[in-house]
C-alpha cells in the first residue's frame, strides 16, 4: 500500500516541497528511510515508533519504506517526524481524512507524541502558499511566525493525538485555525545607549546620520580612545524601524541560526564579530550551509572594529557581498543563497601605534610603516566604502562642555523624514535606500541636472576618483539632498559628499 504527504526542506533561506512517500508491504518487519536523509532523520524511526505507540495507536509490524522526494537533495533535521507518523497511520488504515491533499505538515516528535518546534517555518509557509496549500499543520510554538503570512490556514498542534483529531473532525479543524493577534508588530527600537552619550565629534555624527539615512558603508579613522566604537555602537539607535517585510527577511535568516529563540525579529541586527573569527563563521558555510555574520547583519549593521587586525582573506571576502548584497554557497550541486544587505561600519587606527596625525601625541611609526599598514586594505575594498571620516581625540574643553546634544530619537526623526521624502520621489521603484540605487537612475539624475553633469569631469581630474567612486559620491549627495528635502542634487551636496570620499591625510599623502 502507498500513501504520501507534503512537507518541506530548507535550501539556504528558502524552502522546497518534499513529498513524504510511504509504502507498506508484507514481509519481515523493517523500517527504512531513503532519499538522502541525515543522521537525525534516520533516528526519527525510533521517535516515530514510540510516539505512535504512546499516543494510543498501533505501530504496523510490516515492511515499511519511507522515501523523501526529491531523492537527489540531502535532507537534514527532525522536520519529517510528524508527516512520517501521519503517513504510517493513514496507510495502515488507522486514520482517514479529506484534508490530506490540501495540507502540508512539519514537526519534530517527542517519544510521548508531543510536537516540538522547528526552524525555518517562515520560509516553509511561503512555499506552502506558493504551491497553493489550504492548511499548514505546524508545532504550536511556531504558529505565530507562520501566521504572519496570509492566504493559508495555520493549524497549531501540541501532540500527535490532537492533530489526528483535527484531521478527522471538520469542526475541530476550523475552530483551531490560528488567528494572528492585532498589533502584533510593535516598535521594539529601544536601547540603553544614546547618541547624546557622545561629547563633541560633530563631523563624525553628521557623517553617521548621512550614512544611516542612505545605508552607506562608512569607515571611521582615528587614534585610540577617540570614540569610534561608541559612535558605531550607537548607529543602530538612529536607524528607522524594520518594516514587516524586512522583519520577515531577517527572521528567515535567524531561524537557521542555532541561538534563535523562535520570535519574530523586529529589531535591526547589530553584529560585531571579533577579528579571530573563521571564514565559515564570517561568510557562512559548513557541510550543510548556514548563514555567517554578514548574513546575520542583513538589514542592520556589520561593525568591524580594529579592521586592520582581520586576516586578509576575510577582508577580501567582503568584496562580492558588498557589491551584490548576497552570498551564494554551493554544496553537492546545490546553490544556497543568503542575503546580506547590511550597512558596513569600519573602525581603524591610522597606523600601528595609532597616533599618526594626532595633535597631542607623537606617532612613533615611520612613513614606510604607515604605508605598509594601509597597504593591507586593498583598493577594491576601500573603493566599496562610500564614506570616510576622521575621528580625532577630544580636547579637554569639548569633554566638559554642557552644550545641548541631539538625542538618538531626534536624529531618528530626521532619518525617517529623509526616507519618507525619498519614498515619495521613487514611488513605484524597488530601491529603498540610496545605496541600492542602480546606474540607470543615476544616469537620469545627470541627464536632468546640467550643473552636476558639468562638475563630474573636474571631480575625476582633481580627486582621481574611479567610476565606482563617482557613483558613491552621487549616491551620498542624493542622501544629503533628501535630508535637506531637495528635489534635485545641488552643488553644496556634492561638495559635502566629496569630503567623505576623498582620502584622509594618512599614509602616502
Average pLDDT over every residue of 478-506: 85
Of the candidates 402, 428, 454, which is a domain's last residue? 428
Q: What is the pLDDT of residues 53-108, one digit of tens each?
A: 999 999 999 999 999 999 888 888 889 999 999 999 999 999 999 999 999 999 99
Burial letters for 312-341: b for 16+ Cβ neighbours within 10 Å, e otherwise? eebbebbeebbeeebbebeeeeeebebbbb
CATH number at residue 110: 3.30.230.10
Reduced to 3 states (helix: H, G, I; strand: E, B; else coil), residue 230 is helix
- Mean pLDDT value across the chain: 88
Say yes or no: 145 and 212 in one domain.
Answer: no
Residue 470 lies in a domain: no
Say yes or no: 168 and 233 in one domain.
Answer: no
What total number of domains does the chain contain? Answer: 2
Say yes or no: 29 and 70 in one domain.
Answer: yes
Find all residues with CB under 8 Å of 237, minimum gap 6, and list them.
189, 191, 193, 194, 195, 408, 412
pLDDT at 25: 93
Say yes or no: 234 and 365 in one domain.
Answer: yes
Residue 493 lies in a domain: no
Residue 159 lies in a domain: yes
CATH number at residue 266: 3.40.50.300
Q: Cell digits for 484?
A: 535637506
Of the candidates 428, 447, 463, which is a domain's last residue? 428
Residue 12 lies in a domain: yes
Q: Which run of H or E residues covers position 31?
A: strand 30-34
Q: What is the pLDDT of residues 205-215, one digit of tens each?
A: 999 999 999 99
Give the residue numbers spanning the domain of 290. 195-428
Least confident piece of the model among 2-6, 186-190, 345-349, 371-375: 186-190
**Packing angle between helix 439-448 and helix 450-463, nearest 10 degrees?**
110
> With 50 as the cut, is the pLDDT of residue 286 above it?
yes
Residue 451 lies in a domain: no
Say yes or no: 27 and 120 in one domain.
Answer: yes
Say yes or no: 137 and 229 in one domain.
Answer: no
Amino acid at each position: 500500500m502507498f500513501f504520501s504527504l507534503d512537507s518541506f526542506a530548507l535550501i539556504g533561506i528558502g524552502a522546497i516541497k518534499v513529498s513524504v512517500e510511504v509504502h507498506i508491504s508484507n514481509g519481515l518487519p523493517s523500517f527504512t528511510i531513503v532519499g538522502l536523509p541525515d543522521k537525525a532523520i534516520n533516528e526519527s524511526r525510533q521517535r516515530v515508533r514510540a510516539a505512535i505507540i504512546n499516543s494510543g495507536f498501533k505501530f504496523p509490524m510490516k515492511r515499511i519504506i519511507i522515501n523523501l522526494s526529491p531523492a537527489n537533495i540531502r535532507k537534514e533535521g527532525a522536520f519529517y517526524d510528524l508527516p512520517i507518523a501521519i503517513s504510517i497511520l493513514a496507510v495502515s488504515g488507522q486514520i482517514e481524512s479529506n484534508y490530506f491533499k490540501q495540507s502540508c505538515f512539519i514537526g519534530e516528535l517527542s517519544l510521548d507524541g508531543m510536537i516540538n518546534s522547528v526552524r525555518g517555518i517562515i520560509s516553509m509557509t511561503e512555499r506552502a502558499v506558493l504551491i497553493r496549500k489550504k492548511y499548514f499543520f505546524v508545532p504550536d510554538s511556531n504558529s505565530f511566525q507562520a501566521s504572519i503570512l496570509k492566504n493559508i490556514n495555520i493549524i497549531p498542534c501540541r501532540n500527535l493525538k490532537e492533530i489526528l483529531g483535527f484531521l478527522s473532525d471538520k469542526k475541530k479543524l476550523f475552530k483551531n485555525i490560528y488567528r494572528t493577534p492585532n498589533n502584533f508588530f510593535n516598535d521594539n527600537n529601544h536601547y540603553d545607549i544614546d547618541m547624546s552619550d557622545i561629547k563633541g565629534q560633530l563631523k563624525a555624527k553628521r557623517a553617521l546620520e548621512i550614512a544611516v539615512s542612505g545605508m552607506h558603508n562608512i569607515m571611521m579613522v582615528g587614534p585610540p580612545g577617540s570614540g569610534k566604537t561608541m559612535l558605531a555602537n550607537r548607529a543602530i539607535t538612529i536607524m528607522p524601524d524594520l518594516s514587516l517585510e524586512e522583519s520577515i527577511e531577517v527572521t528567515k535568516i535567524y531561524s537557521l541560526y542555532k541561538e534563535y529563540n523562535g520570535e519574530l525579529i523586529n529589531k535591526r541586527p547589530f553584529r560585531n564579530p571579533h577579528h579571530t573569527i573563521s571564514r565559515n563563521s564570517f561568510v557562512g558555510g559548513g557541510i550543510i550551509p548556514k548563514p555567517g555574520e554578514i548574513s546575520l547583519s542583513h538589514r542592520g549593521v556589520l561593525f568591524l572594529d580594529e579592521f586592520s587586525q582581520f586576516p586578509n582573506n576575510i577582508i577580501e571576502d567582503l568584496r562580492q557581498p558588498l557589491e551584490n548584497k548576497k552570498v551564494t554557497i554551493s554544496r553537492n550541486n546545490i546553490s544556497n543563497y543568503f542575503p546580506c544587505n547590511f550597512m558596513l561600519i569600519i573602525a581603524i587606527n591610522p597606523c600601528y601605534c595609532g597616533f599618526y596625525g594626532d595633535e597631542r601625541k607623537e606617532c612613533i611609526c615611520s612613513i614606510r610603516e604607515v604605508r605598509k599598514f594601509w597597504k593591507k586594505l586593498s583598493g577594491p575594498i576601500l573603493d566599496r566604502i562610500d564614506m570616510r571620516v576622521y575621528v580625532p581625540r577630544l580636547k579637554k574643553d569639548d569633554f566638559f562642555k554642557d552644550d545641548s546634544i541631539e538625542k538618538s530619537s531626534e536624529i531618528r526623526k530626521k532619518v525617517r523624514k529623509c526616507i519618507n521624502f525619498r519614498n515619495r520621489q521613487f514611488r513605484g521603484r524597488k530601491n529603498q535606500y540610496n545605496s541600492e540605487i542602480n546606474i540607470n537612475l543615476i544616469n537620469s539624475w545627470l541627464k536632468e541636472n546640467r550643473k552636476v553633469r558639468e562638475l563630474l569631469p573636474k571631480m575625476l581630474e582633481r580627486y582621481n576618483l574611479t567610476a565606482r567612486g563617482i557613483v558613491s559620491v552621487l549616491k551620498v549627495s542624493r542622501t544629503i539632498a533628501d535630508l535637506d528635502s531637495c528635489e534635485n542634487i545641488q552643488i553644496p551636496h556634492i561638495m559635502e559628499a566629496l569630503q567623505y570620499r576623498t582620502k584622509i591625510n594618512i599614509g602616502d599623502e
